[in-house]
A and B are shown apart, each in its own frame.
Chain A
Amino acid sequence: MRNTKSTQLIFELSRSGRRAHLLPPADVPNVDLGSVLPSGALADAPPPLPELAEGDVVRHFTNLSTLNMSVDTHFYPLGSCTMKYNPKRNERLASLPGLVDVHPYQPESTIQGLLEILWNVQNDFAEISGLPAVSLQPAAGAHGELAALMVAAAHFRKLGQHRPNVLAPDSSHGTNPASAKMAGFETITVKSGANGLVDLNDLRSKVNEKTAVFMITNPSTLGLFDTQIKEIAEIVHSHGGLIYLDGANMNAILGITRPGDFGADMMHYNPHKTFSGPHGGGGPGAGPICVRDFLAPYLPAPTVGRKGDTYYLDQGGSDSVGRVRSFFGNVGVLLRAFFYIRSLGGSGLKEVSENAVLNANYLLSRVRHILPVPHGNRCMHEFVASASNLKKEKGISAMDLAKRLLDFGFHAPTVYFPLTVPEAVMVEPTETESKEMMDAFVEALFRITGESADLLHEAPHTTKISRPDEVTAARKPVMKWTAS
């Protein structure tokens, strides 16, 4: 039974004079700060925040939480996002005193245990990627892309080479071209062939001495391992360019193949995907980057070094691109990655990818009897089906399918991405789902495609709200509550 009051905003629950968190009385002699601080800098009154009792706050946010689908409550096959189970042990361990309460400016002698963990995380990331130099500083995948592109730019600046272009496939994440622009590059799009892989002729026609970096997602957003990757790397390298691997899909290849071994010079990880960091309703993530040795001098600093048994912060040299954020990095996310990697060990990580790929292929083998999968009968960790025929024949779109799946208790797959597949439905089950769960998903999908278009256009029917009016939201934006 749902508590409907929870739809009220916290501001509407506010009553003047209510308090939750009480402060102790001052135990030092009273000072009139009003006379100490410049009067022109002081507020007349504190900000008009809501006033609530502690129980009000708890009930409000608890009720709000029940309006979400989450990995803990539902199958969440959101392609490209790797919504795997987030082990509870990692939450508890990352919150241990000595890890959660460490200030970023503490002396190195007081954080040797933490630096040891971070040093090990660097080494593990280097081992898994086959790229030896690591910076843990970037705060998210897109932030890692940007930092790595700056590393590339600094490298070419040092060489005295003017290389203004970044190449990226048409199926790439939107962050790729957006990051390239922030690092001062122009993006040139490389076409995919009919098989979903990079069109080598198109690549050859676009790569030249102005190419700094080719950004490739491999396995791709279509869930395909680009078999031509070695040739792609040779083409780009022969023109003096670098290969950047968008590591969003590392969940498919842990311990099976390594970006450094298939030609990548730089990459980022999304530890919140591959290494089970919880997604937090949109973040935090982390975006550590790994590069080849010759690019190491340009990495953002500090990194963790070891001398004998002592760990220290290496502040980098004058070639470093500089800081991309304050303090060390998203340590909380990196700790969870460390605990995840230690829980599984080297062979366990390989099993993660084997099971992720097995699950995806099983789901593909069943879904393709319901929706066509344009790029083949096999996939890596995810696949992209198309609702194109369904739309033509019955007027049922990928969006309709997505919305109706919610009624059946499944989070929707990613839809309308990648842009190269019409009415795209991108499914990533991850390794932590059972066969029974995937069968139930297929069963639901099958039933839905037999339902009437009218019913589907109005879906979802069982959720707290029906489809929101996003057009009005954008045209007449209301982005904060105001007292009426």
Chain B
Amino acid sequence: MLQAIGAASVAELFESIPSELRLNRPLAIPPALSEIELTQHAKKLAGKNLGAETATCFLGGGAYDHFIPAVVDSLASRGEFYTSYTPYQPEVSQGNLQVMFEYETLICQLTGMDVSNASLYDGASATVEAALMCLAQNDGRRKVVVPESLHPEYRMCLKTYFQWIGAELVEVATPEGTLDLQAWTNAIDSQTACVILPQPNFFGIVEDLKPFAAVAKSAGASVVACVDAISLGILDKPSNWSADVVVAEGQSLGNPLQYGGPYLGILACREAFVRRLPGRIAGQTIDRSGKRCWVLTLQTREQHIRREKATSNICTNQGLFALRAAIYLSLLGPQGLKETALLCGQKAHYLKQQITSAPRYSIAFDGATWCEFVVRDQSGDVAGTLEYLQSKGILGGIPLGQWYPELSDCFLVAVTEKRTKCELDSYVAALKHLSVGAFVTNA
């Protein structure tokens, strides 16, 4: 090969790199491992972690231990899917393009929206992009109003992005875990580009959001719904409560926890917003012989065509995880999604009721909940509670004090369809054990 090139050595090929800029020592990276050694090394490191397959996981907060059917892993591990790339050549990417189109349709069916993109990075970035869409759509308005019951990390991301573009995040307090119509109304004005309404909210509470959306609409603001995908098996589509844009974390739809990513940002909107929609979109068309087929469409929104005038800088999507979500939703169907949502809700309710039999613990908020709820440790020792649960092989909850100082005696508990009554009873037994001798005030 060097002969064909006309070079004396491989080193000669790097001549354009000035010698004073070269690294004149080996990289300080450990020597190569064979596959056997690497596997042993990886297993050793993996073995130091306590995963949800070993422990009993009651953690949620935007990422959930839902069941993943074998078909999802089996199909998504086909090399034709996961070693291909963005379908720049549609003639040899019809598999991926059709999956994108099916994913988009499934998301529209789920949310009631007109159009979905082919996915974003995660729920938080989808929420940010939704806000940016609304700021652009309602040109001149610079405020985005959210309740403090929106995921704290999503609010952090909004702040991160807003500081450079002159947009303002208005956060409305939710001291009882729910929105107050008066406080909400006071926060919205003629500068409000959009509101973001979580359903269920970060505390697991389900609210009738129609009046809150109506206030925003009457002020000329757009409504972004931030929803849990599985909950839509029983909860109303956001289109029915006036949402213009819907975002969700798609991890729940057949994607593993893997410490927070890659996940799947779901973003769908009404027709009027489509030119503002960031990311790839697959559309239907015909080929030269009139055969139905699929292509990437409306690419004039995108960075590779429009550069600084693009709707967003996004380039890659989460194709593999959109594929997994499409397979998952196809496997569950309407009835499966409904039954999954019902099972989560019923098991969560059982645990919520049983926990109150442990005197040291109470339910922090009165609001109705679906699969997640906030527990108050009346002794205030949340860390002690969670450590004890962990010693029993239970990942018992997420301490809320890190985001809500006033809830430093509280933790968030999530229950999925995977939890058994036996596991729920063990959880309660542990809390009862911790309640023995506890000083409890019943004010």
Contact = CB atoms under 8 A, between A and B. Distances in A.
Nearest to B397: A105
Contacts of B10: 354, 357-358
B441 interface: no
A416 B22 CA distance: 32
B442 interface: no
A325 B46 CA distance: 25
Interface stretch (A21-29, A200-208, A388-396): A21-29
B285 A469 contact: yes
A105 B411 CA distance: 12
Interface in A37-91: 37-52, 54, 57-58, 60-62, 64-73, 76, 78, 81, 83, 86, 89, 91
Given A31-B349, A339-B42, A479-B282, A470 B334 contact: no
9 contacts: A112-B48, A127-B27, A225-B14, A227-B17, A283-B320, A402-B89, A403-B89, A479-B114, A479-B274
Given A106-B59, A282-B280, A49 B92 contact: no
Contacts of B174: none
A341 B32 CA distance: 8
B124 A323 contact: yes
Interface string B158-186: 01110111100000000000000000000
From A20, A49, A411, residue with most partner B Cβ within 10 Å: A49
Contact of A100 (B27, B258, B281): B258
A178 B157 contact: no
A287 B71 CA distance: 30
A346 B80 contact: no
B95 A65 contact: yes
Given A48-B109, A480-B115, A101 B334 contact: no
Nearest to A61: B75
B283 interface: yes
A410 B367 CA distance: 59
Contacts of A93: 38-39, 42
Given A64-B95, A414-B88, A31 B305 contact: no
B110 A466 contact: no
Interface stretch (B188-196, B292-300, B429-437): B292-300
Given A357-B14, A468-B90, A98 B331 contact: no
Given A282-B319, A284-B318, A481-B101, A23 B29 contact: no
A466 B259 contact: no
Contacts of A448: none
A458 B75 contact: no
Contact of B337 (A46, A95, A113, A229): A46
B313 interface: yes
Given A281-B320, A328-B260, 19 more contacts: A28-B346, A37-B370, A40-B208, A41-B207, A46-B234, A47-B109, A49-B334, A58-B71, A68-B84, A69-B93, A145-B313, A182-B164, A279-B86, A280-B81, A327-B260, A327-B263, A331-B259, A342-B30, A470-B285
B5 A361 contact: yes
B53 A97 contact: yes
A349 interface: yes
A98 B318 contact: no
Contacts of A153: 164
B424 interface: yes
A18 interface: yes
B98 interface: yes
Contacts of B334: 45-49, 51
A225 B156 contact: no
Interface stretch (B60-68, B139-147, B357-365): B60-68
B404 interface: no
B262 A332 contact: yes
Given A330-B262, A463-B92, A7 B395 contact: no
Nearest to B305: A174
A366 B5 CA distance: 8
Interface stretch (A236-244, A252-260, A289-297): A252-260
A319 interface: no
Contact of A61 (B30, B116, B327, B337): B327
A38 to B, nearest CB: 4
Contacts of A357: 10, 13-14
User: Nearest 4 pairs between A and B by C-beta?
Assistant: A327-B260, A72-B79, A113-B48, A280-B320
Contacts of B288: 458, 466-467, 469
A270 B372 CA distance: 36
Interface string A173-211: 111111111111011000000000000000000000000
Contact of A54 (B71, B92, B105): B71
A468 B286 contact: yes
B307 to A, nearest CB: 4
Contact of A257 (B21, B48, B235): B21
Contact of A466 (B77, B284, B289, B321): B289
Interface in A140-168: 140-143, 145-146, 150, 153
A57 B331 contact: yes
A452 interface: no
B59 to A, nearest CB: 4
B260 A343 contact: no
Contact of A111 (B49, B79, B299, B338): B49
Contacts of A103: 52, 57, 59, 63, 65, 257, 259, 395
B354 to A, nearest CB: 9
Contacts of A344: 32
From A114, A254, A357, residue with most partner B Cβ within 10 Å: A114
Contact of B81 (A110, A281, A474): A281
A281 B103 CA distance: 13
A335 B261 CA distance: 11
Interface in B21-51: 21-23, 26-33, 35, 38-39, 41-51
B320 A323 contact: no
A31 B354 CA distance: 13
B94 A345 contact: no
B315 A111 contact: no
A317 interface: no
A261 interface: yes
Nearest to A139: B121
Contacts of A52: 330-331, 333
A98 B320 contact: no
Interface in B291-330: 291-295, 297-300, 302-308, 310, 312-321, 323, 326-327, 329-330
A135 B205 CA distance: 34
Given A112-B49, A326-B157, A468-B90, A140 B81 contact: no
Interface string B130-149: 00100000000000000000
A189 to B, nearest CB: 9
B375 interface: no
Contacts of A65: 75, 78, 80-81, 95
Given A26-B346, A257-B17, A282 B259 contact: no
